[in-house]
Structure formats: C-alpha cells, structure tokens
Amino acid sequence: MKKIIIRVIVLASIFTQSPLLAQQSTQPKPQASQEQAEQHEAGISFTPQQMRNANISVAPLVPQIQASYVYAPGEIKVNGYKSYVVSPRTESVVISRHAILGEHVIQGQSLVTLFSESVAQAQATYRVSSIEWQRLKKLANNTVSKTELLAAQTDYIAAKSRLKAFGLTAQAIELVVKNNEPNFGQYTLIAQRSGAVLSDDFSQGQRVSAGDALMILADEDDLWVEARISPSKDLDLPIGSEAILHSGGQRFTAKVIQEAHTIDPITRTRIVRLSVKNPQDKLHPGMFVDVNFAFATKAPVLAVPESALMRSSDGDWVVFVEDHPGEFEAVEVELGRTLGQFREISGIAPHTRIVMTGAFFVASEIAKGGFDPHGH
C-alpha cells in the first residue's frame, strides 16, 4: 500500500517539474495589449475600395451661413381672399341643391335654388316696369313727355337693380320678361368663383334668413396657415419670410404674409399668417401642422450633418478626422445650435477633413479593430 502511494507522488512531482508542461500550464490566454486597444480606439485605416463599399464620404469643414429654425404650432385655414360665402339676400325657403360637400365647382355653376316672397314681388315689379319702359320708348317724342319717359326708365332700372341685389343673374332677369309663365319667387344662386364646397349645412325645405351661410367655396390651391407664437419669442418676421411646414410626414414651404400686433386673450399667443401652395390638394382647412420658421445665422458657422456625429465609449460626441487619405481618428467636439439637418460644432479647426457620411461604419470598425465590408 505504501509503495503505490510513493509512486503516485513521484509521478506527480515529475509532471509538475516538466519545463514544457509547466510553461503550457502557466502561460496566460492571448489578449490584446493595452497599447493595441488604444490604437484601435484612436483610429483606423480604409482603402479607397473599402470607403466606396461603405459609402464613406469625406469633406473639409468649411464655415458657412446656415439656417436655424424656430417651432410654432399652426392650423390650415381657408384663404379669406379667395373664398366665397353663398347666402341668400332675403328670407327664403330652400327648394333644391345642385352641389354637394367636397365637390369642385366652376364659376357660374348653379348651387342652390330658393323661393322668396320678396323676390316674387320684385320680379313682378320688374316685369311691369320693363314692359312699360319698352312701350314708351317706341312712342314718338311728341306723344310722351320727357318727365314720363324718365320716370319709366327710372322705375325699370330700380326694379332690375333690386333683382340683381337678390342675387339673380342677368339671364334669370331677362327670363322674367320673356317667359309668359315665370316661376315668380324662385331664383338660383350660382358660384361666383371656382373652388371646392367646404360646407353645405342646410336641408331642402329649410327656411333661411338673409345672410345665412348656405355654402362656403374656397380655392384650396392657395391656403392660409395661422401659426401661434409665444410673445416671449422676439422674432423678426418680415413679409416674405420662409417657413417649413410638416404634416403627416410631408413637407411644404410657406411664406409670411401678415403678422398680428395683438395677443390672443385666451391662448396668450400672437398669430402669424402664412400662405402655402397646395397644388396636389394634400392640405385641407382644419388640419394641424408643425411650422418651423427659418432664420439665417448672422455669421458663418462650422456645422456638420447629424449623421456625422457619434458617441465615444465615454459618452462624448466625436467626429472622425482624416489625418491622411483613408486614415481616420475620433476627435471630441462640443455641440451648439441645431440648424435644420445640421448641428453646429466647436473644438475643431476649420477646413479639417472629416467624415460626412458613413460615420457609423467608421465607429463600428474602430470598435472591432478591423474592416471588411464583404466579410473577406
């Protein structure tokens, strides 16, 4: 029993004293040196082909005038200068409609037919005065005095003018005399301009008063935007100043046309009115939009696309500087104003060549310590 134990001890001693085995058992696993890690973290090199494959572009950082933006909520409104309210000029009853909500009508198109006792009386008066005026004109000058002729002419003009005031067209007025059995009291309102029917809040048979809005027509090719700005923002917005509108992922350009000089007592904001072209009919009154007023910087600034900025391992913002063709190094920068799709930066000299696009690939390859976009 003792012999067996001694042999085991001897073998164990021989095993531990073997130089080759001892070296293999004590050698640490391969690890990147601290110097190598710092080198990988500092920068990396790319061939021209690798830069093309990764869509990496480099450009000098040149000071330029940039545009900054100030946000304000806005609402699409009807262009008050290109809209028209269809309404009766006297108390009437709706007989029938000829256009519906959302329909695009053209100038002169029939919209709604009404009946009015006042219009019936005016039509009868016009018919009598017109016939009398035509009769007296045919008589010899020595048969009718100038006073009678003038009175007849005056009655005729007054009766015709009253029908025009009620909204009857010239053709409808002439039919009052030509038609032996006119529908006295009925008259039709027509579109005074082309546009879309934005509202038609009435029913057939409904009695309406003078001035009631039966329909609203508007040209939606040119709309208004009312932006509400906090009075604390002292913005210089002269007529013609540009703004960018965003709605539903779409982008539109608008221009300032008016600015209120009073503060809304409810919202405590002031209104800036803009005009926006809408040829594709994608904007409609009542829609809410984001308004961004554009302002040019007073002096040239250093700015890069947002995509050129990356976070370092310690959380600082960096850009990648090209010291030599294809060799890039991360340089820490300080961020300034947001200028549209660009960001003002400091801490780097003008005309330094930096990565404008593809910064994400540069950062990822620095982290990995190598680059091969095709996996070779």
3-state SS class at 66 = coil
The verdict on residue 14 lying in a domain is: no
111/210 same-domain check: yes
Residues ≥6 apart with Cβ < 8 Å to 343: 303, 304, 305, 306, 309, 335, 336, 337
CA dist., res. 102 & res. 100, Å (int)? 6
DSSP one-letter code for 366: H
205/174 same-domain check: no
Amino acid at 159: A
The verdict on residue 138 lying in a domain is: yes
Residues ≥6 apart with Cβ < 8 Å to 181: none
304/357 same-domain check: yes
224/76 same-domain check: yes
CA dist., res. 86 & res. 212, Å (int)? 8
Label each residue of 78-123 as H, E or C.
CCCCCEEEECCCCCEEEEEECCCCCCEECCCCEEEEEECHHHHHHH
- Domain extent, residue 257, equals 70-80+220-295
DSSP one-letter code for 29: P
CA dist., res. 241 & res. 296, Å (int)? 11
For residue 339, the domain's CATH number is: 2.40.420.20
The verdict on residue 22 lying in a domain is: no
Residue 75: in which H helix or E strand, if any?
strand 67-77
Closest CA relative to residue 283, chosen from 6, 77, 24: 77
259/280 same-domain check: yes
Task: List, for residues 298-340, the tens digit of each pLDDT value.
Answer: 889 999 999 999 998 888 999 999 988 999 999 999 998 888 7
CA dist., res. 348 & res. 315, Å (int)? 18
239/283 same-domain check: yes
The verdict on residue 376 lying in a domain is: no
| 225, β-bridge pairs | 76, 274
Using the 3D structure, point to which of 261, 295, 329 is the last residue of a domain. Answer: 295
The verdict on residue 28 lying in a domain is: no
The verdict on residue 16 lying in a domain is: no
Copy the structure tokens of residue 132: 């009398």
The verdict on residue 192 lying in a domain is: yes
Residue 353: in which H helix or E strand, if any?
strand 353-357
CA dist., res. 232 & res. 250, Å (int)? 29
242/291 same-domain check: yes
What is the residue-level pLDDT of the chain in tens, covering all 376 positions? 333 333 333 333 333 444 433 344 444 444 444 444 444 445 688 998 999 999 999 999 999 988 777 889 999 999 999 899 999 999 999 999 999 999 999 999 999 999 999 999 999 999 999 999 998 888 866 788 888 889 999 999 999 999 999 999 999 999 888 876 568 899 999 999 999 999 998 999 999 999 999 999 998 899 999 999 888 777 778 888 889 999 988 999 999 999 888 888 888 898 999 999 998 889 999 999 999 988 777 889 999 999 999 998 888 999 999 988 999 999 999 998 888 788 999 999 999 999 999 999 999 888 886 444 444 4
224/281 same-domain check: yes
Closest CA relative to residue 244, chosen from 210, 194, 207, 295: 295
Using the 3D structure, point to which of 266, 295, 324 is the last residue of a domain. Answer: 295
45/132 same-domain check: no
In the chain, the number of structural domains is 4
Using the 3D structure, point to which of 249, 267, 295 is the last residue of a domain. Answer: 295
Is residue 304 within 8 Å of residue 61, measured between CB atoms? yes
306/348 same-domain check: yes
For residue 236, the domain's CATH number is: 2.40.30.170
132/250 same-domain check: no
Task: List, for residues 73-127, the tens digit of each pLDDT value.
Answer: 999 999 999 899 999 999 999 999 999 999 999 999 999 999 999 999 999 999 9
The verdict on residue 2 lying in a domain is: no
Copy the structure tokens of residue 239: 């007529």
3-state SS class at 185 = coil
For residue 89, the domain's CATH number is: 2.40.50.100
76/224 same-domain check: yes
Neighbouring C-alpha atoms within 13 Å toward the C-beta of 264: 13
